[in-house]
Amino acid sequence: MAVRIINVLFMKHCIYLVIYSLFRCCQLISWWLTGVQSHLTSCRNGENYESSAQLLRVWKNSIGRIININLRHHFLSTHMRFVHPTYALQKHITLMTVTDKEAIFSIHDPDEDVLDVRKYPFLSLAQPTKTNYLLIMPISSMIKLGEELGDPKAKVIWIYHTGRCGSTAMSQVFNSLPDVVSISEPLCLFSLEMVFKEKSLGKKEVAYFNSKDYQTIYKNAVRLILKPYRKEAKIFAVKSQAYMSKIDLQLIPKLFPEFCEIFMYRGIKEQIISMYKPTRGGHLQGEISLAVANNPLLSRLLPNVYPSSILFVSCSNQQHLKWVFKKENLLKSDDFTISVIQFVETCFHYKEMVAKGSPVVAVKYEHLRDDNAKFFEVLFNHVGLELTPERKRLIDQALSEDSQKGTFLDRKRMEVKKIEITPAMIDSANDYLNYYGLPSWGEHLTLPNTIS
């Protein structure tokens, strides 16, 4: 059923792209005739900051897959007017996508709280479906806006994780507390990462995240994610997008040393199986690009086509990228291998940051499952929050619900979905686990600085 849904989404998106291409051609001609295009060009050149944000009305959107980086062409939209970039600081406007060229904000109904993790377990699922208008500004304007806003005044708890490890339940717990704004997996940092990663692979340069340009955009995007939302909110709890945790682990402590950092993970076997279940057969575009990369003729004709599914889960380490994209490793890559890479890469970079003296600590899903009262007592003590009786009550209420109810990760759907893990798959997993210095399949894992 899930594979069928993915295929239908993809086919509908292909039809949409044909329609959008025709519409866009007509739109650009209209903008050229009316002067909109010339104003956009001047704004991209760093001029007219006060009117550099373009407000567009959305008529239709199409994403083509369940998890998607939302770009301009995913929305059939029309120009309304130009506004000051500070327009983006309104409470019902959230940063959705950042590239090296522009920032895209989602504008939804003022009564619609897309940050409500109980209703929308992932911000990335809420934004495209609830977007009524877009606000698009050149990246130079976003940077200036972020610098004017400055670092957040509230306490910030930043949660890194391996994915499928209880991190959404933790986000839902923070979401239940009235003095906390919980933000679950914003995709805007991941969209920035993917743009720079794809460009660097083409140039055989992978140290892009250390560049001044990348870090400047990244820092100001974080500032805009953490803009003030509610007067009573004294704390932000931000959960990284799972694939982005590898980069966030390296940049957050450098750019925002005052943030409190938590890393969440679970046992090796359980983690990889839990990741593999919902993703098996769910990345049609990744399968197509992987087929191109593995075909002797097509890979020569299209040398810069990289499997998007592997790009998503790989990090920026040059040695690791060479290993992951080795021909023999590409040939055996599948959805199971993607799940393995996501886990080993994230754990590796956590261990690397701990070895460098980063103050990040780890919490383990199994501890939450076995004794959630003790788990949150230890966690709240570490982050400097008092675990009052009222907070305990709200935590118990939040944990009583399926944190991903209504999504493709719904607990009931996962329980009925059956998968088979063969000895060959385990051998393949062990190749990656051993390469990244982790225990073998089924062995116990306790990462350094794990609190319990």
DSSP string, 191-202: HHHHHHHHHHHH
Domain membership of residue 141 (yes or no) is yes
The angle at the Cα of 254, spanning 384 to 436, to the nearest 5 degrees, equals 95
Domain of residue 190: give its range. Answer: 2-265
Q: In this predicted model, what pLDDT tens digit does every residue of 346-373 receive, in sequence order?
A: 999 999 999 999 999 999 999 999 999 9
pLDDT at 168 (0 to 100):
94
In sequence order, what E strands does 62-169 have? 75-83, 93-98, 102-107, 133-138, 155-161
pLDDT at 208 (0 to 100):
85
Domain membership of residue 345 (yes or no) is no
Domain membership of residue 435 (yes or no) is no
pLDDT at 1 (0 to 100):
45
Cα–Cα nearest to 290, from 256, 324, 265, 254: 324
Domain membership of residue 260 (yes or no) is yes
pLDDT at 296 (0 to 100):
76
pTM recorded for the entire structure: 0.94
pLDDT at 120 (0 to 100):
94
Distance CA 139, CA 178 (A): 33
Residues of the chain below pLDDT 70: 1-6, 66-67, 202-206, 281-287, 408
Domain count, the chain: 1
pLDDT at 63 (0 to 100):
81
Domain membership of residue 361 (yes or no) is no
Domain membership of residue 303 (yes or no) is no
Distance CA 136, CA 194 (A): 19
Domain membership of residue 56 (yes or no) is yes
Domain membership of residue 92 (yes or no) is yes
Contact 301, 292 (CB under 8 A): no
